[in-house]
Structures are given as structure tokens and as C-alpha cells.
Chain A
Amino acid sequence: MTIPNTLTGPSVLLEQTSVKEGDQQLLSAITTEFKAGGWHAILGPNGGGKSTLLKAILGLTPHQGSITIQWPTAEPNTQSQGRLGYLPQSMPFDASLPISVRDYLLMSLSKKPIWFSRKIPVEVEVALNQVQLNDKLDRKVGDLSGGERQRLMLATALLQAPTLLILDEPMTGLDQQGQKDVLNLLSEFNTAGGTILMVEHNWQIVKQHCDQVYWIDKGLEYQGTPDDFFASKVSQSNPLQPEFME
């Protein structure tokens, strides 16, 4: 995938952002900033509101308070200005539908109706090659393995030429090599200046790659660098840590 050498990722500002569903408070007021060009890890227990936070930032969940994505204004290369790529937690549709990899890519990336133009653009072929899906173009998405689906969704997100990536557990279902390939792509994107917000359970990955950690448990419980976080009480009191550190 050709990721530009320089990207100007946006910052994301949360001011008193909270999410309620009926009487239930899913997230209490959060005020923080996800800095531009950073690789931000969102951690927390299951049901703590990590995915809810991502959905609120994406505008998919109603929220109170304000969320501002500060897209850089004087961007010389306006091609990718204000674009974001999103990778949902699970495959977003019924696996039994007859939707091929080609269909999914074309409906995301092409304006020509899928029943007319079936040709995949060269840059998309290159991207598929990088995520080892080039020989699976006509395979049903539902027949792909979990890791292959994840790579397809990530490739599609990156092909939007984003400057902000919002990823909900991107390593789910990936084997070691798959994780390595995906992390290489994400590192390239982040090094170029793109901003990444990522829900991730694998603390090794967080330690090695991320700039900031946000511990979400019905609200923002902790924010700091990975090293500070793993030395903190929040991290040490979390019973899940040893399992994930292996």
C-alpha cells in the first residue's frame, strides 16, 4: 500500500464528553486530547466503554459534551484532507451474503456501479498484494479466515487515503506474521504523520508501538505514556495484565 511520506494527522479533542443509553451511563464525562500524529492506545476491561468511545468520535453514537476532530487547515496535499479510516471490531455484515472481496473493495473505492466495472485499480492490487489477499479477489468475504477479513478491512480503510485511523481491535484473528504485517503498515502510516486511535488488548503491542495509553472504564481512569502506565496502580491492579503480557 502506498502510504505518502508525509501526512498531517488531526488531533481529537474531547470536552466533557459522555455517553448515555436510556438511564445507563456508558461513559462519564471525559476531557482529553488525542494529539495530532500520535499513536494512541485505548485500553480497559470488557464492557468498559472503549468501543463506545470510538463510536462517539466517529459520530455513530449520540453523546453529550463536544468532540472536535481538528483537521489541519493549510494542508498542501489536499488529496487526503479530512479523511478517516475505520476498522470495526468484527466483520460488519452477514457472512452468508454473496459479497466477494472484489465487491467490497469496489463499493468502498469505486464510483462506477459494481455490476458494470469489475476491474480493480492498480493501486488496490498493490495493496492486496501487501496484505496477501491478491489471489482471493473472487472469494466470498464470509469464506475468508478471521485474519484475512481483518486485513481486507484494514486495507480498505488505508485505501481511503486517511490521515486519521480509528481501529477497534485490529489484531483480532491475526497470526504472528499477520500481526507483524499489519503493525508494519500502521508504523509506516504513523511515521508519516498519521494519527491512530486504537483499541487493543495486547499490551506488548501497546508497549512497543504506542505513544499514549488511555485506560477507559466507564470513563477515563488513566492517561499517560505506556511506560508510566505499566508502572501505575491502574495497570498493576488489573488482573488481566499477566495473561496479556505473556
Chain B
Amino acid sequence: MMTSVYQTFKHVVEQGWLPEMFAYEFLINALFASLMIGPMLGLLGTLVVVKRLAFLSEAVGHSVLTGVSIGILLGEPVNATWISLFSFSILFSLLLQWIKGRSTIPYDALIGVFLSFALALGAALLLYVAKHVNAHLIEQVMFGSILVSSVDDLILLATIFILVSWLAFSFGNQAYLVAISPEVAHSQRINTRLHDYGFVILIALITVAAVKIIGAVLVGALLLIPAASARLVAKDLKQMLMLSVLIATTSSVFGVLIPMYGEWPVSAGPAITLFACGWFIMCLMVRQLNGRNN
């Protein structure tokens, strides 16, 4: 299927309707990946902002460093350490949630401890495995790359995309009620604990799925910035959600395409994050202007 997509893009490039870069298969893969990553991060980001869990996504993002290193140490293919990545990130998230439910430590402090642990362990292991692999791998894991998305990665992303869409359509309203008012949700017989565990597992899944494009260091930013920007100007939850998805998707797509088009030596992760920050500044200005006019 992807072969015919590549052929179509090549044909369009030959006709002169698209720049030459669209003839590269890796770019088409990265484009499709960003079109799936953007909406997922934008959607889940609204829950991250409503629940005030910005640092959770950062912590899970950093756990990816450890997951990659463990995968390489266990002999998984360097560019596809999926089993270790998913296993470690999901275990990490579940452990965090489990301890949260069984201790009186404030959640932000607990996340801070986990974040530091994930970063320290990941950095230590990554520096150790760096001796055995190409040094560029470290850069890719940290900051993402558009060069490494394969068709298998796209299939994995599409599977997670379908799962997230199904969950959003089936349990979206409940998830928002649990996020804003767990007590009221509990009184309506919604299983708030299941929602909380489901939420951290989804964060882990999406983070791992997005890490190849955005990188472990900045994937948390795309869970936070689009939703935080949308919150500044939205009048209701629907607007916030739509705007967050729009910002995350356009940032992902522009972050992949623009540096390539301009031949800028910038990794995809930083470029995507900078575009998202641009949106944040715009939303901030719109809010300021609206505030003055009102």
C-alpha cells in the first residue's frame, strides 16, 4: 500500500506540484507519522492540562531513554527496541500510579522523583550502550529524527491511533469528568481508578509511539504546549480540544517539513516544539488583546 503512496507522491513531484523532497520515502513516512502523532498528543494533552500533570508526560518521556538502552542491551534491533520500550514505559507509568494510590506523598513530588530517576538511569545506560552503537542513535533517541520512521513504525502508530480514537469516542466524556471532578465521577459509578491507570498507560503508549519523530526529551512538550495554548483562548472544552489537536498536528507536520525544505540542520523534535511554542505565543497575544478589548 505504501509503495503506491510513494509512487503517487513521486508522480506529483515530477509534475512540479510539490517540492522535490516529497520524492523521498522517509519523508512521506515521517509525514504520515506526524499526521497520526499530532491529533493523539493534542487530544491527550487536554487531559494532561486539565489534570495538571505536565510533569507526568515529561517523566514518561524520559523513561524512554532507559527503555531504549535496555532494548539494545537485550539485543533488540537498535532502531526498533519496541518490546523493551513499551514494557519499561508502561511498567514505569503503572508503578508511578500504584505508588500514588498507596502513599501520602504529593503527586508532583512523586513525579519529580520518578522523572529524576528515569533521566539518571536512562542517561547512565545510554552512555554505556553508546560505546556499542552509532553515536547518532543517541541524538535520535533524545531529539527525534525524520529519517528513521519505517512502514512497520507506521503500522504500529496506526494501531495505537485506532485504539486512542476508539477510547476517545467511547469513554471521552467520562475521562473528562474523572479529570475535573473524580469525586462526582465516582458518585456516578465511574471506575475512576481504572480511568487513572488507563490514562497513564495511554500516556506511555503515545509517548513511545511518538518518540522516533519527536525524541524522548521533547515528547512531553507536545503533550503540554498545544493544550496549554488552546486553554488560553478557548471558550469551552470543544474549542480547547479542537484547537489543541490543530496546534499539535500543524506543529508536527511543519516541524517535519519546514527544516527539510529549508535544509536547516535542526532535528524534528526541537523544530516541532518550536512551532508549538510559536502557537503558544500567538495564543498568549490573542488572549492579551481580547482582555484589553473586553
A residues apposed to B, CB below 8 Å: 22, 55, 58-60, 83-86, 88, 92-94, 97-100, 102-104, 106-108, 110-115, 118, 138, 140, 153, 156-157, 160, 166
- Indicate if the CB atoms of A99 and B235 lie closer than 8 Å: no
B180 contacts chain A at the CB level, 8 A cutoff: yes
User: A52 to chain B: closest CB distance in Å?
Assistant: 13
- Indicate if the CB atoms of B176 and A114 lie closer than 8 Å: yes
B residues apposed to A, CB below 8 Å: 50, 52, 104, 168-169, 172-174, 176-177, 180-181, 183-184, 186-189, 231, 234-242
- Indicate if the CB atoms of A108 and B183 lie closer than 8 Å: no
Which residues of A sit under 8 angstroms from B234, Cβ to Cβ?
98
Using A98-B231, A160-B188 as known contacts, list a sample of 14 further A-B pairs with CB atoms less than 8 Å apart, ordered by residue number in A: A58-B183, A59-B186, A60-B183, A60-B186, A86-B183, A93-B180, A94-B52, A98-B237, A98-B239, A107-B173, A108-B184, A118-B238, A140-B236, A153-B184
Question: Can you report 19 residue pairs joining A to B where beta carbons are below 8 Å apart?
Answer: A58-B187, A60-B186, A83-B189, A92-B181, A93-B180, A97-B50, A98-B235, A98-B240, A99-B236, A103-B236, A106-B173, A108-B177, A112-B173, A113-B168, A114-B172, A114-B237, A118-B238, A156-B184, A166-B187
Q: Contacts A107-B176, A107-B177 given: A114-B184 contact, CB under 8 Å?
A: no
- Indicate if the CB atoms of A138 and B236 lie closer than 8 Å: yes
Q: Which residue on B lies nearest to A112, using beta carbons?
A: B173
CA distance A166 to B183 in the complex (A): 12
Which residues of A sit under 8 angstroms from B186, Cβ to Cβ?
58-60
- Indicate if the CB atoms of B187 and A85 lie closer than 8 Å: yes
- Indicate if the CB atoms of B188 and A92 lie closer than 8 Å: no
Which residues of B sit under 8 angstroms from A60, Cβ to Cβ?
183, 186
- Indicate if the CB atoms of B181 and A88 lie closer than 8 Å: yes
Which residues of B sit under 8 angstroms from A84, Cβ to Cβ?
187
Q: Contacts A86-B187, A88-B183 given: A113-B173 contact, CB under 8 Å?
A: yes
Which residues of B sit under 8 angstroms from A112, Cβ to Cβ?
173
- Indicate if the CB atoms of A103 and B187 lie closer than 8 Å: no
Which residues of B sit under 8 angstroms from A103, Cβ to Cβ?
176, 236-238
Q: Which of A118, A138, A157 contacts B235 (CB 8 A)?
A: A138
User: B199 to chain A: closest CB distance in Å?
Assistant: 15
Which residues of B sit under 8 angstroms from A138, Cβ to Cβ?
235-236
Q: Which residue on A lies nearest to B173, using beta carbons?
A: A107
Q: Contacts A99-B180, A103-B237 given: A113-B172 contact, CB under 8 Å?
A: yes
User: B207 to chain A: closest CB distance in Å?
Assistant: 23
Q: Which residue on A lies nearest to B231, using beta carbons?
A: A98
Q: Which of A22, A88, A98, A99 contacts B184 (CB 8 A)?
A: A88
Q: Which residue on A lies nearest to B176, using beta carbons?
A: A107
CA distance A22 to B239 in the complex (A): 43
Which residues of A sit under 8 angstroms from B237, Cβ to Cβ?
98-100, 103, 107, 114-115
Which residues of A sit under 8 angstroms from B231, Cβ to Cβ?
97-98
CA distance A166 to B186 in the complex (A): 13
- Indicate if the CB atoms of B236 and A100 lie closer than 8 Å: yes
Q: Which of A107, A115, A153 contacts B242 (CB 8 A)?
A: A115
CA distance A73 to B149 in the complex (A): 58
User: B92 to chain A: closest CB distance in Å?
Assistant: 26
CA distance A52 to B67 in the complex (A): 42
Which residues of B sit under 8 angstroms from A99, Cβ to Cβ?
180, 236-237
Which residues of B sit under 8 angstroms from A104, Cβ to Cβ?
180
Q: Which residue on B lies nearest to A86, using beta carbons?
A: B187
User: A178 to chain B: closest CB distance in Å?
Assistant: 20
Which residues of A sit under 8 angstroms from B241, Cβ to Cβ?
115
Q: Which of B104, B188, B238 contacts A114 (CB 8 A)?
A: B238
Q: Which residue on A lies nearest to B186, using beta carbons?
A: A60
User: A44 to chain B: closest CB distance in Å?
Assistant: 20
CA distance A137 to B177 in the complex (A): 17
User: B284 to chain A: closest CB distance in Å?
Assistant: 15
- Indicate if the CB atoms of A108 and B172 lie closer than 8 Å: no
CA distance A154 to B238 in the complex (A): 24
- Indicate if the CB atoms of B183 and A93 lie closer than 8 Å: no
- Indicate if the CB atoms of B104 and A22 lie closer than 8 Å: yes
- Indicate if the CB atoms of A111 and B173 lie closer than 8 Å: yes
User: A197 to chain B: closest CB distance in Å?
Assistant: 12
- Indicate if the CB atoms of B180 and A97 lie closer than 8 Å: yes
Which residues of B sit under 8 angstroms from A88, Cβ to Cβ?
181, 183-184
- Indicate if the CB atoms of B236 and A102 lie closer than 8 Å: yes
Q: Which of B52, B188, B239 contacts A108 (CB 8 A)?
A: B188
Q: Which residue on A lies nearest to B235, using beta carbons?
A: A98
Which residues of B sit under 8 angstroms from A97, Cβ to Cβ?
50, 180, 231
Which residues of B sit under 8 angstroms from A156, Cβ to Cβ?
184
User: B205 to chain A: closest CB distance in Å?
Assistant: 20
Q: Which residue on B lies nearest to A111, using beta carbons?
A: B173
Which 10 residue pairs spanning A and B have beta carbons closest together? A86-B187, A92-B181, A93-B180, A100-B236, A103-B237, A98-B234, A107-B173, A113-B172, A107-B177, A115-B238
